[in-house]
Structure 1
Amino acid sequence: MYRFLLTPRWWGINVFVLLAIPFCIFMGSWQLSRFEGRVHDSRAATKQAASDRHETAQPLDRMLPVDKATSGRRVSAHGRYGTQLLVPGRQVDGRYGFYVLTLLRTGSGKSLPVVRGWLPGTADAAKAPAPPTGEVTVTGALQASETPGDNGVSAAGGLPAGQTAAISSASLVNLVPDKLYDAWITLDKADSGMKAVPASAPQGTGLDLKAFQNLGYTGEWFVFAGFVVFMWFRLLRREAEAVRDAELGLVPEEETAPATVSAP
């Protein structure tokens, strides 16, 4: 009954099934490993953030460039405050407000963006406390330059003078004449009654939408594998039933063509 499995048509079907199932399982396992990797990175970042709050601050230059290993680490820098900007539309503890960002001119000739704190409400330069004068030493969590669209960073343009949407050297270079570090810090303790801005996890280490997309793709690939097996068994059953019906003579009769009436 199953001799049809040796026909060229079924050889093609069987080869496709034998290749498709391992491929689907491999892709599902790969997506699952990516999700597990993101979970591991998230846990490691959480532990690192907890330990970073208690570690001794390191000189800024030792922690550059910013990567997953150095993001969130406590650093210190020395210099004088210069230009001050506001970063509107930022959320802290479920409330919207703005960051007060001040450039710290260091002895290296570069300026380091420093988030001195957060204030609620609409961004208003009159609300932002002036930075301390003279030489200062700041300590805070090192952060990588922001990318619009990540962690609530706005991609909107056309902001009023003295405001920036993203804290990044690429955005600030158009607003200030200073040479900038490709990094920024958020102070451990905010200045002048402002609220300290918590450090964010390194990019790619959180359980974000991409992580759950990996989990969703895992399920899809395993479903595809099951679907391939289901369709193979369904085709096999239909073919076997057709062969059995033919052997038993249980084939549908062809409809008889209507008889033509001859002319008298």
Structure 2
Amino acid sequence: MGGVYRFLLTPRWWGINVFALLAIPFCVFMGSWQLSRFDARVDEHRTATKQAASYRTEAPRPLDGLLPVDKRTSGMQTTATGRYGRQLLVPGRELDGKSGFYVLTLLRTGSGKALPVVRGWLPGPADAAKAPVPPTGEVTVTGALQASETPGDNGVSAQGGLPAGQTGAISAASLVNLVPDRVYDAWVTLNTADSGMKAVPAKAPEGSGLDLKAFQNLGYTGEWFVFAGFVVFMWFRLVRREVEAARDAELGLVPEEQSPAVVV
């Protein structure tokens, strides 16, 4: 390499070149990995959607045979028999673009545990007077099996200090201090809502939807590719500046440094 490009072989530029050669493929690799994570979440979302559609046509299975709830069993049709007990309201839930609340009733089963059952949704602020009284006597419920909710995920409220008779999340951890029963670490949303309420559709398993985390992966993909392009841009810019400085020096266009002032 001759002429003005000999500076590329100097120790200083060796360091710059090695950094660029390592940084560019690393950024491309990380960007490709983040893109693969986004693609995987898209595939999971499609699979979960197809899975939910197929589950609606399947015969319901006994509850105990589907526990614990995972990505495979979430959304499956299940059936349980028992007697309704304590009823709670779950405020701040949207359905069809409207704000309302779930009516959640504990079904005491023969196993000695209570199954949280979402009997339906009603519009407006949570109001116990609007919630229909659960059926009496022994009942058999059929609906979609759901995993316990985690506050802060999928729009689940993390607020505390709710009025008595309300809960922010449907989970055994949230209900343990609200009801005297031992509670299943799962819940069911009825296929057909009880009197005057709308049925609550089953949710996709956690982590299988196109949520904020999925689009974060897409955003990180762009950031890594942009950074790779920035490294290339800066390398060429530095080379160009070095070449121009070298040519100016050959032509004698580089101004001489001023001599220090002489103190008399």
How far has the Cα of 1:122 moved from its partner?
2.1
CA shift at 1:247, angstroms?
2.4
2:99 matched to 1:96? Answer: yes
Map of 1:194 onto structure 2:
197
What does residue 142 of structure 2 align with?
A: 139
2-structure distance, mates of 1:259, 1:166: 81
* Gap regions ≥5 residues in structure 2: none
- Once the 2 structures are TM-superposed, how far is the Cα of residue 78 of structure 1 from its aligned partner? 1.2
Give yes or no for the alignment of 1:176 onto 2:179.
Answer: yes
Q: Distance in 2 between matches of 1:236 and 1:89?
A: 59
Using the alignment, how far apart are the partners of 1:167 and 1:6 within structure 2?
65
Aligned equivalents of 2:192, 2:260: Cα separation in 1: 95
CA distance in 2, matches of 1:257, 1:55: 91
Structure-2-length-normalised TM-score: 0.94
What is the alpha-carbon distance in structure 1 between the residues aligned to residue 225 and residue 100 of structure 2?
45
Work out the CA distance in 2 between the residues paired with 1:94 and 1:236.
Answer: 56
Q: Evaluate the alpha carbon distance shift between residue 133 and residue 259 of structure 1 in structure 2; reply closer, same or farther with a 3 A threshold.
A: closer
Q: What CA distance in whole angstroms lies between the structure 2 residues aligned with 1:59 and 1:175? A: 26
Identify the residue that residue 69 of structure 1 maps to in structure 2: 72
Q: Which residue of 1 aligns with 2:89?
A: 86
Correspondence 1:152 to 2:155: yes
Residue deviations 1:68-91 (CA, integer Å, cap 9, x gap)? 111111111111111111111211
CA distance in 2, matches of 1:117, 1:259: 92
Deviation by residue 1:181-232 (Cα, 9 ceiling, x = unmatched): 1100000001112110111111111111211111111111011111101111
- How far is 1:248 from its partner? 2.6
Moved more, 250-259 or 53-62: 250-259
Pick from 53, 56, 60 the counterpart of residue 59 of structure 2.
56
Query: 1:243 deviation in Å?
Result: 1.8
Superposition TM-score, scaled by structure 1 size: 0.94
Residue 256 of structure 1: CA displacement? 5.9
How many equivalent residue pairs?
261
Which of 33, 39, 44 is equivalent to 2:36? 33
CA deviations on 1:75-112 (whole Å, 9 max, x unpaired) are 11111111111111211111122111111111111111
Structure 1 unaligned runs (5+)?
none
Q: CA deviation at 1:255?
A: 3.6
What value does the CA root-mean-square deviation take over the aligned residues?
A: 1.5
Inter-partner Cα distance in structure 2 for 1:258 and 1:172: 83
- In structure 2, what is the equivalent of residue 15 of structure 1? 18
Q: How far 1:5 sits from its partner (Å)?
A: 1.3
The structure-2 alpha-carbon separation of the partners of 1:245 and 1:177, relative to structure 1 and needing over 3 Å to count, comes to same
Distance 1:160 1:230 in 2: 59
Name the amino acid aligned to 1:69.
R
Query: CA separation in 2, counterparts of 1:228 and 1:62?
Result: 56
1:243 aligns with 246
> 1:118 offset after TM fit, Å?
1.0
2:236 corresponds to: 233
State the match for 1:167 in structure 2.
170
Per the TM alignment, residue 259 of structure 1 is displaced from its structure 2 partner at its CA by 8.3
The one-letter code sitting in structure 2 at the alignment partner of 1:118 is W
Q: What's the counterpart of residue 207 of structure 2?
A: 204
What is the distance in 1 between the residues matched to 2:229 and 2:246?
26
SS in 2 for 1:155: coil
Q: In the TM superposition, what is the alpha-carbon distance from 1:254 to its structure 2 partner?
A: 3.1
Percentage identity across paired residues of the two chains: 80
Sort the Cα spacing of 1:247 and 1:160 in 2 relative to 1 into closer, same or farther, 3 A: same
Shift of 1:151: 2.3
Residue matched to 1:125: 128
Q: Greater CA deviation, 120-129 or 82-91?
A: 120-129
Residue 131 of structure 1 aligns with an amino acid whose one-letter code is P
Q: One-letter code of the match for 1:20? A: A
